[in-house]
Chains A and B, each alone.
Chain A
């Protein structure tokens, strides 16, 4: 099974889980850690997540900021404990959706492809007239 953890400084992780629920329709397999908020101890929560991992799980951890303390601690802990996990730093909604909605088992090159594509979703939003297909010949072409 895919096992997903979203971790952030502050409440972002919970907010992202709520966004995912609206767009994808479910966030059942997603756990979150909103670090540095009241009653949340990052280490403790991380241990809880790690102990829930089963040997055949595909583990994905999304952290808010590459190099941030949350990402540092998570990367360190997974490395020390030799737990195989895909830790993706500086996530956006697109990358999380692509990963949770993919139905197949993802290998390293699939994951890299998804990251590459999702990275393209971070861009200036502007309306481009040429993008509209107007004629059926263009549509079927």
Chain B
């Protein structure tokens, strides 16, 4: 089962490996990223970041969608990690009911600065384009929330966006 879909530009790192895996009692981490999947060095570093008792796989987004359709995935407690909101939308569209939590962790802090990037929370900066993706994501999963780790404050994405829309 897909316990969570998380947008995190750092994919697997300390916050994910140490906190979310425990809080959700995960047995598998799935990285859906065309970019990471095509880079052997990045794949190895991501694998290094994952706890040794948790299965990890890194594949392009479309391959991951197929992988998740495998009935054997129902026996695992999975977190799917994507680096962009756009990729999250792809996954959410393929599994519009099956995902228990949709979480935005870290986004937009490592991508190059751009004029239209807006700071939504301390951890999340999105371009206008990505904000429209976020709206799509919220349409499929209205409970989509912003949260870095399970101990941090949780904010509903739709609430954040409504504040943002008022400001522009």
* Smallest beta-carbon distance A123→chain B, Å: 10
Q: Which of under 10, 10 to 19, 20 to 34, or 35 or more describes the interface residues of A?
A: 20 to 34
Given A127-B44, A133-B57: A24 and B72 interface contact (C-beta under 8 Å): no
Q: B19 touching A139 by the CB < 8 A rule?
A: no
Q: Is the interface of B mostly helix, strand, loop or mixed?
A: helix
Quick check: B47 and A25 within 8 Å, CB to CB? no
B56 to chain A, nearest CB (A): 6
- Considering only residues 87-141 of chain A, those with a C-beta below 8 Å from chain B are 97-98, 101-103, 125, 127-129, 131-134, 136, 138-140
* In the complex, per-residue mask of B1-36: 1 if CB is within 8 Å of any chain A CB, else 0: 000000000000011001100100000100000000
Is B15 within 8 A of A25, CB to CB?
yes
| Residue B150, interface by CB 8 Å | yes
A24 and B28 contact, CB distance less than 8 A: no
Q: Specify the chain B residue showing the minimal Cβ separation from A141.
A: B55
Q: Is residue A69 within 8 Å, beta carbon to beta carbon, of the partner chain?
A: no
Q: Does B168 contact A (CB under 8 A)?
A: no
Which B residues lie at the A interface, using CB under 8 A?
Answer: 14-15, 18-19, 22, 28, 40-41, 43-45, 47-48, 55-58, 67, 70, 72-73, 76, 148-152
- 23 sampled A-B residue pairs with Cβ under 8 A: A23-B19, A24-B18, A24-B19, A25-B15, A25-B19, A25-B148, A25-B149, A26-B152, A97-B18, A98-B18, A101-B18, A101-B19, A102-B22, A127-B41, A127-B48, A128-B44, A132-B43, A132-B58, A133-B47, A134-B57, A136-B70, A138-B57, A139-B55
